[in-house]
């Protein structure tokens, strides 16, 4: 097996050609798994305005389409073609009506897909694919800052690139250059006039309050940044009579019930601009969302993993008498939606085809379509209850974790095997299980530790860790907590539950404009809460005093010790704390290997 993490792609080019033929034979055609088509179901159209926006966020490397999900099976090349046709056929179709289109991204461009994650730094080769789209405004997300190396790569490959130097904005992140000096990560702001409608736009971009130490970058919390001298001076330099639209796009959630960052910012901006239209674009929490902040301000957030394109238009921007008119639409990332909204039968363009061929070449070079086996049915993270046979955590609990075979101790001794749910990153879809599936579903490497514990302590750990947001502190992604917040908003309380045999399961978004924001009608997908940790249990005795092996991901060690010691103190008089000396390496296959072997064994 190739270790591609450390090899640059160009070095593998010759090898790739030879592999390409192999792969076409190995990989089962995806057509064998295509769900019934939904082409006769009418889509919801969109309304253009003076200003129009296309928004992507949290693409996380999903440029090569969702091969096992027909509702999101367009690739980045198709998307680029869409933007081109949309401009020509819709936005500028009628030369007598002046309109502008701005294309915006709000960051998190890798971690989640083999195209980006099979290279080091993540995104090394795939970044070019993303950057083929002519974004008008772009910025970075927290995933661009997980290491110094990543910050350096993002800064030089994109923020400072000749293509995007003018258009890359970050108002509260600085880059630390080779001399150790802090410089803005791109531009602090961008002031420009739109080409056709001559709207004067002041654009800012904020990252949520992300606490990480990175030797090459520094994030200042928004609340502090907007008190700084440069910001106050900017507001004075561009007073309301010089700005038709304030455009704030950033890696920040539209709905933020914990830190309320967007609300803090909005409060401050309204002090300077009481009547100006303010349009926000958000990200990071991986949902479709649209928030009305007041009569002249809204925020759009456009999903995750390239399964959503957000569309927004504004009319009556400069009217003193009428309120501005906002329109939002969430577009499913597939050819059918693209053709429909771009009003074309032939999506293909030269540049789109070129990008598609680049994606396919990179897939080949990275061997992403290498097939290990076949997944017989879909296993969901949140879309099925925890005890369902279609729940991926249940599959781990009841099947996969049982196959862990210690190389260092007797694995037939009674044991429990615990993992944190955050280690699993995506639903496991029916169809070919490839190297790419591994990057998508279970990207992390791990080793196993164990402790020998009396059953009376071991049996209480799971419940203890699931009471608190313990694990969430230590493990990426933070996104999953936000998803749960979105659930608490109680989607199904306000919008009818859709159940139509002709529809597929998917987004039925509830937002501040109601229940009909999605372009494609779907059946409601109910999402269930996911605990912090799950475990398998193989016991030969129920005696509470019996000793068992309690096995867990090594990076959970601190959490496990905290649990054993709190539980011990509660239930055992004169209890002596366990320490790291009581923790040993268990050996055995990584979780990733267990999943691969399991799929192979059932294929
Ligand atoms: C989408 O359209 C492009 C351009 O016509 C085509 O090459 C591609 O195969 C289509 N994708 C799917 C999944 O049908
Ligand atoms: C679709 O458009 C492409 C690029 O403009 C062109 O090369 C191709 O022939 C067209 N296909 C059809 C079926 O018209
Ligand atoms: C477990 O691993 C040992 C060697 O470490 C091997 O002898 C044994 O066959 C394995 N058992 C299973 C069930 O794979
Ligand atoms: C034992 O562990 C608990 C829980 O982590 C901790 O609060 C306590 O201070 C520890 N006691 C000693 C003596 O180290
Ligand atoms: Zn993200
Ligand atoms: Zn993020």
3-state secondary structure of 557: helix
Which residue, by CA, sits nearest to atom 8 of ligand 2?
348
Phi-psi region of 465 (alpha: psi -120 to 50; beta: other; left: phi over 0): alpha
Nearest ligand, CA of residue 350? 2
CA distance 587 to 450: 9
Nearest to 461 by CA among 542, 543, 561: 561
- Mark whether 437 and 331 lie in a shared domain: no
Name the band, by pLDDT with cuts 50, 70 and 90, for residue 212: confident
Ligand 4 centre to CA of 406 (Å) is 30
Select from 330, 365, 400 the last residue of a domain. Answer: 365
- What count of other Cβ atoms lies within 10 Å of the Cβ of residue 170? 28
Which residue, by CA, sits nearest to atom 5 of ligand 3?
407
- Please, is 191 exposed, middle or buried when counting C-beta atoms within 10 Å of its C-beta (0-12, 13-18, 19+)? middle
The least confident of 198-212, 475-489, 503-517 is 475-489
Which residue, by CA, sits nearest to atom 8 of ligand 3?
405
Which residue, by CA, sits nearest to atom 9 of ligand 3?
405
Residue 545 lies in a domain: yes
**pLDDT tens digits, residue range 326-379?**
999 999 999 999 999 999 999 999 999 999 999 999 999 999 999 999 999 999
Report the percentage of the chain scoring pLDDT > 90. Answer: 81
Residues 6 or more apart in contact with residue 154 via CB below 8 angstroms: 140, 144, 145, 185
Mean pLDDT over 512-528 rounds to 91
- Please, is 120 exposed, middle or buried when counting C-beta atoms within 10 Å of its C-beta (0-12, 13-18, 19+)? middle
Mean pLDDT over 83-107 rounds to 97
Mean pLDDT over 524-534 rounds to 86
Which residue, by CA, sits nearest to atom 7 of ligand 3?
407
CA distance 244 to 195: 14
3-state secondary structure of 139: coil
**pLDDT tens digits, residue range 25-73?**
333 333 333 334 456 789 999 999 999 999 999 999 999 999 999 999 9
Lining residues, ligand 1, CB within 6 Å: 73-74, 78, 335, 347-348
Mean pLDDT over 229-235 rounds to 98
Mean pLDDT over 520-546 rounds to 92
- Are 305 and 425 in contact by the 8 Å Cβ rule? The answer is no
CA distance 530 to 527: 9
CA distance 111 to 123: 8
Higher pLDDT, 417 or 20: 417
- Mark whether 333 and 385 lie in a shared domain: no
Residue 515 lies in a domain: no
Q: Report which DSSP code applies to 563.
A: H
CA distance 568 to 561: 10
Residues 6 or more apart in contact with residue 71 via CB below 8 angstroms: 38, 307, 332, 334, 504, 506, 520, 522
Q: Report which DSSP code applies to 37.
A: P
Which residue, by CA, sits nearest to atom 11 of ligand 3?
405
What's the chain's average pLDDT? 90
- Mark whether 353 and 403 lie in a shared domain: no
- Mark whether 52 and 155 lie in a shared domain: yes
CA distance 296 to 201: 15
**Which of 405, 409, 598 should be mutated for ligand 3, with most atoms under 8 A from CB?**
405
- Mark whether 125 and 260 lie in a shared domain: yes
3-state secondary structure of 266: helix
Q: Is 349 in the pocket of ligand 2 (CB under 6 A)?
A: yes
Which residue, by CA, sits nearest to atom 1 of ligand 1?
335
The yes-or-no verdict on residue 255 having pLDDT over 50 is: yes
CA distance 218 to 145: 9
Q: Is 348 in the pocket of ligand 2 (CB under 6 A)?
A: yes
Q: DSSP for 475-498, please give it.
A: SS-THHHHHHHHHHT-HHHHSPPP
Residue 558 lies in a domain: yes
Please tell me the predicted confidence (pLDDT) of residue 94. 94
Residues 6 or more apart in contact with residue 58 via CB below 8 angstroms: 106, 107, 108, 141, 283, 284, 286, 303, 304, 305, 479
Residue 487 lies in a domain: no
Which residue, by CA, sits nearest to atom 10 of ligand 3?
405
Per-residue tokens: 290:
């649209």
3-state secondary structure of 68: coil
- Please, is 445 exposed, middle or buried when counting C-beta atoms within 10 Å of its C-beta (0-12, 13-18, 19+)? exposed
- Are 126 and 115 in contact by the 8 Å Cβ rule? The answer is yes
The yes-or-no verdict on residue 19 having pLDDT over 70 is: no
Range of the domain at 386: 375-469+531-602
Mean pLDDT over 5-25 rounds to 32
Per-residue tokens: 46:
């969109």
CA distance 323 to 134: 31
Mean pLDDT over 90-110 rounds to 97
Residue 37 lies in a domain: no
- Mark whether 308 and 400 lie in a shared domain: no
Domain count, the chain: 2
- Mark whether 450 and 344 lie in a shared domain: no
Residue 494 lies in a domain: no
Q: Is 407 in the pocket of ligand 3 (CB under 6 A)?
A: yes
Please tell me the predicted confidence (pLDDT) of residue 529. 81
Please tell me the predicted confidence (pLDDT) of residue 86. 98
Mean pLDDT over 399-412 rounds to 96
Nearest to 495 by CA among 463, 521, 534, 468: 521
Per-residue tokens: 415:
């044991």
Per-residue tokens: 553:
């991901």
Please tell me the predicted confidence (pLDDT) of residue 320. 80
- Are 274 and 266 in contact by the 8 Å Cβ rule? The answer is no
Give the angle subtended at the CA of 224 by the CAs of 223 and 226, to the nearest 5°: 75
**pLDDT tens digits, residue range 149-191?**
999 999 999 999 999 999 999 999 999 999 999 999 999 999 9
Name the band, by pLDDT with cuts 50, 70 and 90, for residue 493: low
CA distance 603 to 586: 28
- Mark whether 95 and 180 lie in a shared domain: yes
CA distance 381 to 443: 15
The yes-or-no verdict on residue 473 having pLDDT over 50 is: no
Give the nearest ligand 3 atom to 405 CA: 1
Select from 365, 383, 414 the last residue of a domain. Answer: 365
- Mark whether 21 and 165 lie in a shared domain: yes
The yes-or-no verdict on residue 235 having pLDDT over 60 is: yes
Q: Report which DSSP code applies to 151.
A: H
> 533-538 and 325-332: which strand pairing?
unpaired
Q: How many Å from the N-terminal Cα to the C-terminal Cα in the chain?
A: 20
- Mark whether 137 and 160 lie in a shared domain: yes
Give the domain CATH number at 273.
Answer: 3.60.21.10
- Are 423 and 554 in contact by the 8 Å Cβ rule? The answer is no
Residue 504 lies in a domain: no
Give the nearest ligand 3 atom to 411 CA: 1
Per-residue tokens: 112:
């989640």
Please tell me the predicted confidence (pLDDT) of residue 527. 80
Ligand 1 centre to CA of 356 (Å) is 9
Nearest ligand, CA of residue 356? 1
Give the domain CATH number at 454.
Answer: 3.90.780.10
Ligand 1 centre to CA of 73 (Å) is 9
- Mark whether 446 and 408 lie in a shared domain: yes
Separation in Å, CA 331 to CA 206, 303, 340, 507, 509: 25, 10, 10, 10, 12
Ligand 2 centre to CA of 348 (Å) is 6
CA distance 312 to 489: 23
**pLDDT tens digits, residue range 422-470?**
899 999 999 999 999 999 999 888 999 999 999 999 999 999 998 876 5
Please tell me the predicted confidence (pLDDT) of residue 44. 97
Name the band, by pLDDT with cuts 50, 70 and 90, for residue 485: very low
Report the percentage of the chain scoring pLDDT > 70. Answer: 89
Nearest to 302 by CA among 16, 558, 72: 72
Nearest ligand, CA of residue 412? 3
- Mark whether 253 and 150 lie in a shared domain: yes
Mean pLDDT over 239-251 rounds to 98
Please tell me the predicted confidence (pLDDT) of residue 211. 87
């Amino acid at each position: 097996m190739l270790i591609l993490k450390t090899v640059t792609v160009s070095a593998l080019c010759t090898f790739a050609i030879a592999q390409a033929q192999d792969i076409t034979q190995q990989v089962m055609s995806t057509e064998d798994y295509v769900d019934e088509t939904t082409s006769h179901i009418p889509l919801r159209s969109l309304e253009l305005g003076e200003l129009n926006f296309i928004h992507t966020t949290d693409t996380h490397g999903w440029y090569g389409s969702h091969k096992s999900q027909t509702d999101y099976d367009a690739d980045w090349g198709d998307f680029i073609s869409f933007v081109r046709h949309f401009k020509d056929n819709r936005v500028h179709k009628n030369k007598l009506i002046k309109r502008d289109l701005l294309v915006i991204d709000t960051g998190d461009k890798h971690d989640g897909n083999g195209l980006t994650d099979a290279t080091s730094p993540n995104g090394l080769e795939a970044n070019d694919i993303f950057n083929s789209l002519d974004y008008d405004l772009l910025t970075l997300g927290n995933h661009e800052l997980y290491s110094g190396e990543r910050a350096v790569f993002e800064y030089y490959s994109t923020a400072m690139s000749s293509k995007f130097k003018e258009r890359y904005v970050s108002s509260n992140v600085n880059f630390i250059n080779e001399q150790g000096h802090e410089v803005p990560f791109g531009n602090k702001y961008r002031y420009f006039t739109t080409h056709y409608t001559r709207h004067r736009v002041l654009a800012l971009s904020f990252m949520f309050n992300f606490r990480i130490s990175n030797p090459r970058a520094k994030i200042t919390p928004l609340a502090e940044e907007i008190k700084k001298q440069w910001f106050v001076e900017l507001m004075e330099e561009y007073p309301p009579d010089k700005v038709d639209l304030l455009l704030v796009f950033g890696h920040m959630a539209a709905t933020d019930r914990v830190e309320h960052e967007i609300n803090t910012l909005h409060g401050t901006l309204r002090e300077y601009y009481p009547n100006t239209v303010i349009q926000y674009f958000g990200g990071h929490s991986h949902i479709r969302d649209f928030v009305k902040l007041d009569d002249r301000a809204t925020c759009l957030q456009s999903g995750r993993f390239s399964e959503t394109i957000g569309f927004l238009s504004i009319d009556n921007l400069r009217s003193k008498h009428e309120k501005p008119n906002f329109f939002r639409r969430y577009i499913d990332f597939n050819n059918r939606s693209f053709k429909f909204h771009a009003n074309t039968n032939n999506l293909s363009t030269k540049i789109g085809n070129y990008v598609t061929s680049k994606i396919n070449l990179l897939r080949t070079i990275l061997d992403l379509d290498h097939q290990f086996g076949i997944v017989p049915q879909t296993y969901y993270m949140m879309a099925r209850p925890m005890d369902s046979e279609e729940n991926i955590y249940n599959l781990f609990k009841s099947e996969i974790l049982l196959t862990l075979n210690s190389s260092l101790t007797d694995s037939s001794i009674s044991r429990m095997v615990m993992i944190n749910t955050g280690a699993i990153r995506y639903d496991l879809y029916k169809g070919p299980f490839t190297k790419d599936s591994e990057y998508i579903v279970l990207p992390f490497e791990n080793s196993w530790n164990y402790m020998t514990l009396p059953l009376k302590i071991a049996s209480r750990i799971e419940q203890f860790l699931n009471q608190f947001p313990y694990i969430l502190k230590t493990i990426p992604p933070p996104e999953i907590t936000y998803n749960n917040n979105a659930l608490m908003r109680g989607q199904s309380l306000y919008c009818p539950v859709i159940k139509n045999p002709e529809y597929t399961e998917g987004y039925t978004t509830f937002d501040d404009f109601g229940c009909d924001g999605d372009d494609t009608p779907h059946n409601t997908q109910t999402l269930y809460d996911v605990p912090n940790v799950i475990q398998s249990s193989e016991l030969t005795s129920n005696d509470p005093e019996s000793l068992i092996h309690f096995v867990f991901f090594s990076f959970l060690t601190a959490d496990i010790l905290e649990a054993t010691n709190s539980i011990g103190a509660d239930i055992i008089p004169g209890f002596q704390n366990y320490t790291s000396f009581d923790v040993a390496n268990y050996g055995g296959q990584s979780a990733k290997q267990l999943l691969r072997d399991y799929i192979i064994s059932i294929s």
